[in-house]
Amino acid sequence: MPPVRVLIVDDSAVVRKLLSEGLAKEPDIEVVGTAPDPYVAREKIVSLKPDVITLDIEMPRMDGLTFLRKLMAHYPLPVIIVSSLTQEGGEMAMEALEAGAVEVMCKPGGSFSVGDMTLQLADKIRAAARVNVKARAEVATRRRAAAPPKTLSLTKTTNKVIAIGASTGGTEAILEVVRRFPPSIAGIVIVQHMPAKFTTSFAKRLDSLCQIRVKEAADGDSVIPGTALLAPGNFHMMMRRSGARYYVNVRKGPLVWHQRPAVDVLFNSVAAYGGANAIGVLLTGMGKDGAEGLLKMRQAGARTIAQDERTSVVFGMPKEAIALGAAEKVLPLDKIAEAIIEML
């Protein structure tokens, strides 16, 4: 396979140099060019034809978000947002994911060393190169065109739990599912591969767009009807049970499948404590995280769903789950919420 061709777009010469040097160590990735702003980037995209673009948000002459929207409308390419770890940057990153970006990353510094960051960026570039850009665009177009989702009837329940896991492309996929849930839906626990602080913005975005309450999980939070708990970035989340009460533990721990939070950590705990009272859903993402956990859930009596290939941005995690026999149902994204409610 030829190397993945990458264009780095950032107004900081230091960041451009650090990312270029870090990615140069990866034999299957080639940095074909850099650009200090979207106007230079536009010309280099045409001449260099990169496979993937890394894009800063805050830049002179044209901000990255405006450029991203123009790019997706006229020349769609996989885009990874490389932003700072500020609350404002996190909120803008959420807008970028809605506009079509496939991943968000933090710039070197703060809690990330340059080496750690470029290793993670390299993995995300490999995933982005495999992204089904058409499927992602279809999801965004369908949601914009759709009327507000109708409330689906559901008898209120207190002893059920829904566990959802996703990675690349997952922010929009999770929204597509969760926004269809009625306020009386069973308690929900979610793992999305995402850096620390960005999960705060993602939870707020979901909360503002859904009928249910969505919050970033804190240690000891109860899993209750009408509420979704999102695992915070850089922390694993596990579900536990005390009598009839489900709750979550949020802990540091070793990376699982190179991830923290990891879907398998959550799913394994839901299999142990939720058993047949649980529904597991594995959405779009690269790699294997969640496949073995979904199988354990099914073996424990849970109902299980995997997203299909056509609507997955990256058909990695669902594919692995299907191969293991972990998925009771394989469904397109727009049918998953309805299936969950029928299972409940």
Enumerate the β-bridge partners of residue 4: 29
DSSP state of 277: G
Find tokens 């970006």 and name the residue. Answer: 101
User: Among 328, 254, 253, 316, which residue's Cα sits nearest to residue 290?
Assistant: 316
Q: Across 148-287, where does the E strand assignment appear?
A: 161-166, 187-192, 213-216, 227-230, 236-242, 245-251, 278-282
Choosing from 83, 289, 308, 312, the catalytic residue is 289
Choosing from 51, 193, 221, 264, the catalytic residue is 193
258 is a catalytic site residue: no
Alpha helices in the chain (DSSP H): 13-23, 38-48, 64-74, 87-99, 114-129, 133-145, 170-178, 198-209, 263-273, 291-299, 317-324, 333-343
Q: How far apart are CA 140 and CA 27, in angstroms?
A: 34
User: Among 331, 341, 338, 311, which residue's Cα sits nearest to residue 133?
Assistant: 311
How many degrees, rounded to 5, is the angle at CA 85 between CA 84 and CA 87? 110
Choosing from 37, 51, 56, 167, the catalytic residue is 167
CB 158 within 8 A of CB 185: no
Query: Looking at this protein, which amino acid is placed at residue 61?
Result: R
Characterize the bridge pairing of strands 236-242 and 245-251: antiparallel
167 is a catalytic site residue: yes
11 is a catalytic site residue: no
Q: How far apart are CA 238 and CA 211, in angstroms?
A: 25
Distances (CA, A) of 2 to 5, 331, 340: 9, 33, 41
Q: How far apart are CA 232 and CA 328, in angstroms?
A: 28
The span from the first CA to the last CA of the chain, in angstroms, equals 45
Distances (CA, A) of 332 to 34, 35, 78: 37, 38, 21
Catalytic positions are 167, 193, 289
